[in-house]
Structure 1
């Protein structure tokens, strides 16, 4: 059981240095890559802050 949990957690969205990104950082990346438009970005940003 411990191995399964460890294996699952190993697949997180961490960076190469083991850090994890906040929801805001992920949202910023989606907008910067053009995956969402400005209106969607602002709506989601508002949802995160509120």
Structure 2
């Protein structure tokens, strides 16, 4: 949803966060989960870059 909201607002301004909040009320908790999810990705995937 975050990236889709960027099609309307190309920044991380207050207006962007309000738009994101309207479409994804749980965006803050989702963001926190994504930031910690990398520890579950196998190391060999990270090496594929």
TM-score class, shorter-chain normalisation, is 0.3 to 0.5
Structure-2-length-normalised TM-score:
0.33
Q: With structure 1 as the length reference, what TM-score do the two structures score?
A: 0.33
Larger Rg: 1
